[in-house]
């Protein structure tokens, strides 16, 4: 089969007119249907119903009577100190994980883009956290952070940085930073892989030109690499932010939100409201509020980045 | 001067990435007596494998692994069956429905799970599917579908339309050209997507936590977490061993996908 043969046929195919197009439409619909039905019933539908629930006092009981309460859930949310505490922790978590993860991954991607030994080994190693079940990642880090049997206390004591064992995940001021480190570790694969692909897409000629003009390494990074990488950076940091602010499983396994709510991310808070206390409506309100916050943050961020790029 | 610094940085990254995994392995090989000693060591003094055997005896771990396996296999098969026709339509014809599907892939990323999981829980409850594996399978399929569609339609796009048209010129019917020409070229992509669905389902924790309240139907991640609940130092060895075992399927399949993605099958097909 040669490609030239059907090139000549192509114009004919375009002239078949409207009858073919409507047949195509029907065909598309039939082919899409099996995938569309479950997504509509179990994903789009529930989502819309979830938004509706935010304006009701729905409870978890099977026969609980639900009534429409308008915006009163939102009022309760605005005055709920526990929510604001959780919201603050969520922002600290999402911003610091996203930023630190980005910086760490950019550094690693730059290294992996150089002609170093052990490069392919590291490229494989960096992918492993991606494949691990989040639950296992959580359990693994609990072993690392274990106050008595954990390796972290042991190593830090050996090098003289610690003189007593720290209970990393149960200490009021240390638990959140400790959990953030795990967040960075977990998300590094995706970010590194995407940034590395972006780096490999930067035209070599630009660097050669930079070299000719005598630009320093830093200068070339600042004036060539970063601007070229900008669309990739905006995309991956936006996605990371959304994933991080909606994080649940990892922190649930690590600390269950403790100690004393110091790591209770907004989604853990919402989960408890819904499935421990049974306040379905209120938890849905929190979800809706979160969509608004996330979209606002993302919109602002992407708008600013695009304006600077122009 | 630059090179040594670069290697030092690379070493730093390798240490950061690898040390928790090395520690997990080390813990899995230690005796309970060694775990209880106050001086943790990297290399077990008397490495043992009995933790792995103990893990099998713990807390119905084998049962929950089998349930996870059943859900993950059902999820990947169903995902392919549902997504394959749709992805073909998305790649070949431009239509409102395909645009909706692409939009949904993006939108579903932004919405917090809590908005979906509460009503979804209510839907499953009214269908009598709470605390059942089919219930969890449905949820997993629904959440893998958008991304699976996205992946698959990329693979379909990579099969040149010209090949199908050439088959038509040669007198092959529609079905015949799909089966003989498109299917073989698409097979690696289908396998990759199926494995992706498997990994997603096998690793999934949150939906399982909400849908499966009854410990008798718990999947592997749920059982592993419960394992930690009453955490005596003595049980850390079997816990680490079980965690390692639970990671193996995901890791192996992930490695296969990596290779598939790089395979130059398409280039050969078009040239031939």
By C-alpha distance, the chain A residue nearest B4 is A116
**Range from A196-210, A219-233, B3-17, B101-115 carrying the lowest mean pLDDT:** B101-115
Residue A68, strand partner residues: A56
Nearest CA-CA distance, residue A62 and chain B, Å: 8
The parts of chain A modelled with pLDDT lower than 50 are 1-15
- What is residue B260's predicted lDDT score, i.e. its pLDDT? 56
CA distances from B173 to A213, B176, B177 (A): 61, 5, 6
- Which letter does DSSP use for residue A239 in this model? H
Report the pLDDT value the prediction gives residue A13, as an integer from 0 to 100: 44
pLDDT confidence of residue A300: 86
Q: Report the C-alpha gap between A126 and A108 in whole angstroms.
A: 9
The shortest CB-CB distance from B89 to any of A31, A121, A130 is to A31
Span B147-171, pLDDT tens digits: 888 888 888 888 888 887 887 777 7
Grade residue B79 by pLDDT with cuts at 50, 70 and 90. very high
User: Cα–chain-centroid distance for residue A146?
Assistant: 27
Residues of chain B neighbouring A266 (CB-CB closer than 8 A) = 112
Indicate the CATH number for domain B62-271.
Answer: 1.10.3720.10
Please indicate if any CB of chain B lies within 8 Å of the CB of A21: no
> Quick one: pLDDT at residue B66?
93
Q: Give burial (CB, 10 Å; 0-12/13-18/19+) of A41.
A: middle
Q: What is the pLDDT of residue A33?
A: 85
Average pLDDT for residues B30-41, to the nearest whole number? Answer: 76
Among the ranges given (A81-90, A288-297, B243-252, B258-267), the one the predictor scored with the smallest mean pLDDT: B258-267
Q: Is A299 on the interface with B (CB under 8 A)?
A: no
Inter-chain residue contact A6 with B165, CB threshold 8 Å:
yes
* Percentage of residues in chain B having pLDDT higher than 90: 30
Q: Check CB contact under 8 Å for A47 and B88.
A: no
Query: Which chain A residues are Cβ-neighbours of B85 within 8 angstroms?
Result: 30-32, 34-35
Least CB–CB distance from A34: residue in B85, B113, B146: B85
Give the closest of B2, B112, B228 to A246, CB-based: B112
Distance CA B148, CA B84 (A): 9
Angle subtended by helix axes A81-112 and A175-200, to nearest 10: 40
Which of A31, A108, A267 is best to mutate for the B interface (most B CBs within 10 A)? A31
Residues of chain B with CATH 1.10.3720.10: 62-271
Closest-CA distance of chain B to residue A303, Å = 17
pLDDT of residue A18: 62
pLDDT tens figures, A179-224: 999 999 999 988 998 898 888 888 888 888 888 888 888 888 888 8
Query: Do the chains contact at B86 and A13, CB–CB below 8 Å?
Result: no
* Residue from the list B41, B119, B236 with its beta carbon closest to the beta carbon of A53: B119
Given CB atoms, is A258 within the 8 Å cutoff of chain B?
A: no
CB pair distance less than 8 Å for A133 and B251: no
How far is CA B205 from each of CA A39, A284, B105, B146, B221, rounded to the nearest angstrom? 20, 20, 21, 19, 6
Q: Give the per-residue SS3 of chain B.
A: CHHHHHHHHHHHHHHHHHHHHHHHHHHHCCCHHHHHCCCCCCCCCCCCCHHHHHHHHCCCHHHHHHHHHHHHHHHHHHHHHHHHHHHHHHHHCCCHHHHHHHHHHHHHHHCCHHHHHHHHHHHHHHCCCCCCHHHHHHHHHHHHHHHHHHHHHHHHHHCCHHHHHHHHHCCCCHHHHHHHHHHHHHHHHHHHHHHHHHHHHHHCCHHHHHHCCCHHHCCHHHHHHHHHHCCCHHHHHHHHHHHHHHHHHHHHHHHHHHHHHHCCHHHHHHHC
Q: What is the pLDDT of residue B1?
A: 60
Report chain B residues whose CB lies below 8 A from the CB of A256.
Answer: none
Mutate to test the interface with B, among A11, A28, A165 (most CBs of B within 10 A): A28
| A50/B119 CB distance under 8 A | yes
Rounded to a whole number of angstroms, the distance from the CA of B211 to the nearest CA of chain A is 11
Average pLDDT over residues B181-198: 88
State yes or no: pLDDT of B75 exceeds 80: yes
Query: Under CATH, which architecture does the A80-309 domain have?
Result: Orthogonal Bundle (1.10)
What is the nearest CA distance from B270 to chain A, expressed in angstroms? 9
Decide if A189 touches B, using CB distance below 8 A: no
Give the domain ranges of chain A. Answer: 17-53, 80-309
pLDDT at A177: 94
The two three-digit tokens of residue A28, written as one number: 């598309």
By C-alpha distance, the chain A residue nearest B228 is A139
Shortest distance, CA B190 to any CA of chain A (angstroms): 15
Distance from CA of A296 to the nearest CA of B (A): 11
Residue bearing tokens 């992509």: B189
Please tell me if residue A24 touches chain B, with a CB cutoff of 8 Å. yes
Kindly tell me if the per-residue pLDDT of B263 is higher than 60: no
* Model pLDDT, residue B166: 81
pLDDT at res. A3: 41
Question: Which of A90-94, A201-205, B45-49, B223-227: highest mean pLDDT?
Answer: A90-94
Best mean pLDDT range from B113-117, B160-164, B218-222: B218-222
pLDDT at B272: 26
pLDDT at residue B33 greater than cutoff 90? no
Mark yes or no for CB contact B118/A274 under 8 Å: yes
Lookup: tokens for A137: 């990642």
Q: What is the DSSP string of A13-42?
A: HHTS-HHHHHHHHHHHHHHHHHHHHHHIII
Contact call for A143 and B27, based on CB within 8 A: yes
> Using the beta-carbon criterion (under 8 Å), do A291 and B254 form an inter-chain contact?
no
Mean predicted lDDT score pLDDT of chain B: 82
Task: Report the length, in residues, of chain B.
Answer: 272
Distance (Å) from the C-alpha of residue A308 to the closest C-alpha of chain B? Answer: 24
Q: Say which residues have a Cβ less than 8 Å from residue B62's Cβ, sequence separation at least 6.
A: B56
């Amino acid at each position: 089969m040669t490609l030239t043969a059907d090139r000549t046929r192509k114009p004919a195919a375009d002239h078949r007119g409207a009858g073919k197009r409507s047949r195509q439409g029907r065909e598309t619909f039939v082919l899409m249907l099996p995938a569309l039905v479950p997504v509509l019933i179990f994903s789009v539908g529930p989502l819309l119903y979830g938004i509706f629930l935010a304006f009701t006092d729905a409870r978890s009981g099977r026969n609980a009577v639900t009534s429409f309460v308008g915006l009163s859930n939102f009022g309760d949310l605005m005055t709920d100190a526990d929510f604001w505490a959780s919201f603050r922790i969520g922002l600290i978590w999402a911003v610091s994980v996203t930023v630190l993860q980005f910086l760490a991954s950019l550094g690693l991607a730059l290294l992996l883009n150089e002609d170093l030994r052990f490069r392919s080994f590291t490229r494989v190693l960096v992918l492993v956290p991606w494949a691990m079940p989040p639950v296992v990642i959580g359990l693994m880090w609990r072993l690392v952070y274990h106050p008595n049997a954990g390796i972290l206390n042991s190593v830090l004591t050996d090098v003289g940085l610690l003189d007593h064992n720290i209970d990393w995940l149960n200490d009021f001021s240390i638990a959140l930073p400790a959990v953030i480190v795990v967040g960075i570790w977990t998300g590094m694969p995706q970010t590194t892989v995407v940034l590395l692909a972006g780096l490999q897409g930067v035209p070599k000629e630009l660097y050669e030109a930079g070299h000719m003009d005598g630009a320093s390494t830093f200068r070339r990074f600042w004036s060539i690499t970063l601007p070229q990488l900008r669309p990739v950076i905006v995309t991956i940091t936006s996605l990371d932010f959304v994933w991080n602010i909606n994080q649940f499983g990892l922190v649930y396994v690590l600390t269950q939100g403790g100690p004393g709510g110091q790591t209770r991310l907004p989604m853990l808070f919402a989960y408890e409201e819904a499935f421990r206390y049974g306040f379905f409506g209120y938890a849905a309100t929190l979800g809706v509020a979160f969509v608004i916050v996330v979209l606002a943050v993302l919109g602002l961020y992407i708008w600013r980045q695009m304006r600077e790029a122009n | 001067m630059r090179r040594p610094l670069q290697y030092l940085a690379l070493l730093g990254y390798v240490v950061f990435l690898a040390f928790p995994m090395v520690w997990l392995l080390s813990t899995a090989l230690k005796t309970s007596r060694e775990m209880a000693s106050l001086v943790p060591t990297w290399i077990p003094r008397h490495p043992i494998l009995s933790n792995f055997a103990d893990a099998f005896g713990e807390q119905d771990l084998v049962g929950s692994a089998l349930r996870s396996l059943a859900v993950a296999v059902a999820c990947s098969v169903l995902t392919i069956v549902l997504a394959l026709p749709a992805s073909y339509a998305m790649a070949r014809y431009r239509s409102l429905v395909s645009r909706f599907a692409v939009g949904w892939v993006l939108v579903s990323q932004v919405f917090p799970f809590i908005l979906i999981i509460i009503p979804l829980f209510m839907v499953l409850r009214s269908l009598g599917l709470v605390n059942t594996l089919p219930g969890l399978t449905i949820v997993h399929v629904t959440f893998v579908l958008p991304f699976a569609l996205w992946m698959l339609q990329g693979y379909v796009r990579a099969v040149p339309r010209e090949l199908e048209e050439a088959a038509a010129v040669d007198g092959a019917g529609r079905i015949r050209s799909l089966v003989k020409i498109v299917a073989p070229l698409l097979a690696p992509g289908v396998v990759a997507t199926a494995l992706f669905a498997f990994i997603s389902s096998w690793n999934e924790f949150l939906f399982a936590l909400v849908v499966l309240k009854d410990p008798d139907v718990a999947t592997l991640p749920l059982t592993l977490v419960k394992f930690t609940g009453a955490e005596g130092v003595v049980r850390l060895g079997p816990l680490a061993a079980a965690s390692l075992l639970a990671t193996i399927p995901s890791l192996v399949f992930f490695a296969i996908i990596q290779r598939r993605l790089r395979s130059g099958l398409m280039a050969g097909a078009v040239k031939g």
